[in-house]
Amino acid sequence: MKTAVIYARYSSSSQTEQSIEGQLSVCNKYAKDNDLIIVDTYIDRAVTGTNDNRVAFQQMLSDSEKKASWEIVLVYAIDRFGRNSTEIAVNKQKLKKNGKTLISATQRTSVNIDGSRNLDGILLENVYIGIAEYYSAELSEKIIRGQSENRKKGLHCGGNIAYGYASVDRKLVIKEDEAEVVRFIYQQYGNGIYVSEIIEALTSKGIMYKGAPFRPSCIYSILRNEKYVGIYEFKGEIYTDIYPQIISVEACAKVKARAKENRFGRRSTETIYLLRNKLRCGYCGKPISAECGTARNGKKKYYYKCVGRKKHHNGCEKTVLKKELLEEFVINFIIGELCKKKNIDNIVKAIMDMQTQQSKDNPILSNLKKEKKQVDASLANLLKAIEQGVVSRTTTSRLQELENEQEELERKILTEESKSSMMLEKEEIEAFYVKALKCESRLIIEILIKEIVLYNDKMEIYLNTPAKNGPDENRGFSFYNKTMNLRYYSKYSRLFVDEDAIIDIRV
Ligand SMILES: [Zn+2]
């Protein structure tokens, strides 16, 4: 038996929302079905303002650092773990660092309860995150259309004012000197400059924050603050005319993309060799290792080079390949295979099946219906009593109470039913799937590829067998257990699949 904690959160900006009680009952049932012992429960009931002040969540993260307290964090859905894909990835990484696993009671995750990983789980997880983002963006639009009268006038209604702004007669205006700093930070970070270097540059120009050099956390919070693109969220509602825009949507997207690249660590984009320990030389049989050299202009260059070639200068005929070139070629090829109709169809079908199943046995809906039945019965009894002449002040107030309850329940049931009927289309799932593949290329290589034997004009890609996870674990994919023979050539410092090549896939 494994030990787990439940984390539940209510977020008003998510359309496919379930109540805290609903989330807990689903999680508890899952724990019971899967032999998990729940040792603690963390709940964030309401999230206010723009800051990530989810107290229980932070407590859970800090508790996860303690050794041997529990092993699993159980959530209703993966989107409990952050408000966008970057946040979710960062938080998941923190848990992983502490040796804890994230499990969703309603969705398949990349890691199973026993700690093993699976490819379709990774893909599904990314699809779910994409779907959650899509819904919250769609909802934001609706909220903007119906925003409340007070803030509609674009007035600032108290609270902290973000760096770069000042309040004049309750209207926020841009403080041009500070806005310039914000633009500088976005532009530098978006272009790949590290936060420490940005701080250095600011400090050397004498630009301070509250009298002291900028702290990294301050830079990160500026980079995360949606107010700079003109979006202000308050109690789940979004206002676009309170904060004047300082940063373009494009610059913000660039920063987000870079933050995502960096989520595995500071220099990860430079030094992670995707194919490390996966390559073997087809001529001499020795491993092909990752190597780094410095060019005359001081720029670092990265290669994959045969070990046999390294030792004796003319020892092996395998040519040296540029890191990016080879990695891009392999990733594109593998993604191309995963995007083949049969594979896409299988995974999309799996997601749609799950979606149908989920909407069919919606425990929240059945609970609500049960409650309504009870209220209906009490109401009928009370009416009977009134007919028989039992009328007092308490019966009339009780009648009113029950009628209100009935109405409220009917409303909740309607909402819940409309949620269940809001299913994703096949095309939407497909789009998220393709996006997920691109996001997780590193994991895909790690899990899928056993070994690549490299020649100067061809490579043999040996794929892993899913045997470890059992036969039905990776059912979706047609090419497990196979070898791909691929001819290639290089031109204009790029690698191409040889057009005449016969891609031979052997079982
Ligand atoms: Zn060799």
pLDDT band with cut points at 50, 70 and 90 for residue 196: confident
Whole-number Å distance, alpha carbon 299 to ligand 1 midpoint, is 27
pLDDT (mean) for 16-26: 76
Whole-number Å distance, alpha carbon 451 to ligand 1 midpoint, is 15
Which residues touch 311 (CB under 8 Å, ≥6 apart)?
Answer: none
Whole-number Å distance, alpha carbon 317 to ligand 1 midpoint, is 6
Same domain, 47 and 109: yes
Same domain, 47 and 186: no
User: Given 142, 176, 203, which residue is the final one in a domain?
Assistant: 142
Instruction: With a cut of 60, say whether residue 191 has pLDDT above it.
Output: yes
- The 8-class DSSP code of residue 193 comes to -
234: domain CATH number?
Answer: 3.90.1750.20
Whole-number Å distance, alpha carbon 481 to ligand 1 midpoint, is 26
Whole-number Å distance, alpha carbon 284 to ligand 1 midpoint, is 4
Task: Tell whether 355 is covered by a domain.
Answer: no
Whole-number Å distance, alpha carbon 441 to ligand 1 midpoint, is 27
Same domain, 28 and 106: yes
pLDDT band with cut points at 50, 70 and 90 for residue 178: very high
From the centroid of its chain, how far is CA 278? Answer: 27
Whole-number Å distance, alpha carbon 337 to ligand 1 midpoint, is 28
Q: Pick 161 or 101 by higher pLDDT.
A: 101
CA atoms within 13 A on the CB side of 399: 15
Q: Pick 261 or 224 by higher pLDDT.
A: 224
Whole-number Å distance, alpha carbon 308 to ligand 1 midpoint, is 5
Tell me what pLDDT residue 134 has. Answer: 65
Domain around 491 = 279-342+440-506
Whole-number Å distance, alpha carbon 373 to ligand 1 midpoint, is 75
User: Given 109, 142, 175, which residue is the final one in a domain?
Assistant: 142
Same domain, 290 and 405: no
Whole-number Å distance, alpha carbon 448 to ligand 1 midpoint, is 24
Question: Considering only 98-112, 262-276, 391-405, which range has the smallest mean pLDDT?
Answer: 262-276
Contact 413, 327 (CB under 8 A): no
Same domain, 247 and 166: yes
Token pair 């079908």: residue: 349
Same domain, 155 and 213: yes
pLDDT band with cut points at 50, 70 and 90 for residue 311: low
Whole-number Å distance, alpha carbon 458 to ligand 1 midpoint, is 14
pLDDT band with cut points at 50, 70 and 90 for residue 6: very high
Task: Tell whether 349 is covered by a domain.
Answer: no
Whole-number Å distance, alpha carbon 286 to ligand 1 midpoint, is 6
Token pair 């092909």: residue: 288
Whole-number Å distance, alpha carbon 281 to ligand 1 midpoint, is 5
Whole-number Å distance, alpha carbon 368 to ligand 1 midpoint, is 68
Q: How many domains, in total, are found in the chain?
A: 4
Task: Tell whether 352 is covered by a domain.
Answer: no
Same domain, 32 and 136: yes
Whole-number Å distance, alpha carbon 459 to ligand 1 midpoint, is 13
How would you list the strands of the sheet with 2-9, edge to edge? 36-44, 2-9, 72-75, 101-104
Tell me what pLDDT residue 12 has. Answer: 56
Whole-number Å distance, alpha carbon 480 to ligand 1 midpoint, is 27
Token pair 């895909």: residue: 444
Most confident of 136-140, 147-151, 300-304: 300-304
Same domain, 44 and 134: yes
Whole-number Å distance, alpha carbon 334 to ligand 1 midpoint, is 24
Whole-number Å distance, alpha carbon 315 to ligand 1 midpoint, is 8
Task: Tell whether 350 is covered by a domain.
Answer: no
Whole-number Å distance, alpha carbon 454 to ligand 1 midpoint, is 9
Question: Considering only 92-101, 139-148, 346-355, which range has the smallest mean pLDDT?
Answer: 139-148
Whole-number Å distance, alpha carbon 139 to ligand 1 midpoint, is 56
- Whole-angstrom Cα distance, residue 301 to residue 270? 10
Task: Tell whether 118 is covered by a domain.
Answer: yes
pLDDT (mean) for 230-252: 82
Structure tokens given for 225: 């603050």
Whole-number Å distance, alpha carbon 504 to ligand 1 midpoint, is 23
Closest CA to 104 of 87, 84, 86, 88: 88
Task: Tell whether 272 is covered by a domain.
Answer: no
Whole-number Å distance, alpha carbon 319 to ligand 1 midpoint, is 9
Same domain, 18 and 137: yes
Tell me what pLDDT residue 430 has. Answer: 77
Same domain, 465 and 319: yes
54: domain CATH number?
Answer: 3.40.50.1390
Whole-number Å distance, alpha carbon 411 to ligand 1 midpoint, is 70
Instruction: With a cut of 90, say whether residue 419 has pLDDT above it.
Output: no
Same domain, 13 and 126: yes
pLDDT (mean) for 39-49: 74
Whole-number Å distance, alpha carbon 479 to ligand 1 midpoint, is 28
Residue range 447-483, pLDDT digits in tens: 778 899 999 888 888 877 654 444 444 445 555 566 7
Whole-number Å distance, alpha carbon 328 to ligand 1 midpoint, is 22
Same domain, 296 and 329: yes
Q: Pick 447 or 25 by higher pLDDT.
A: 25
3-state SS of 91-129?
HHHHHHHCCCEEEECCCCCCECCCCCECHHHHHHHHHHH
Whole-number Å distance, alpha carbon 267 to ligand 1 midpoint, is 29
Task: Tell whether 208 is covered by a domain.
Answer: yes
Whole-number Å distance, alpha carbon 305 to ligand 1 midpoint, is 8
User: Given 391, 426, 461, which residue is the final one in a domain?
Assistant: 426
Task: Tell whether 470 is covered by a domain.
Answer: yes
Residue range 48-87, pLDDT digits in tens: 433 456 788 888 988 988 876 799 999 988 878 876 777 7
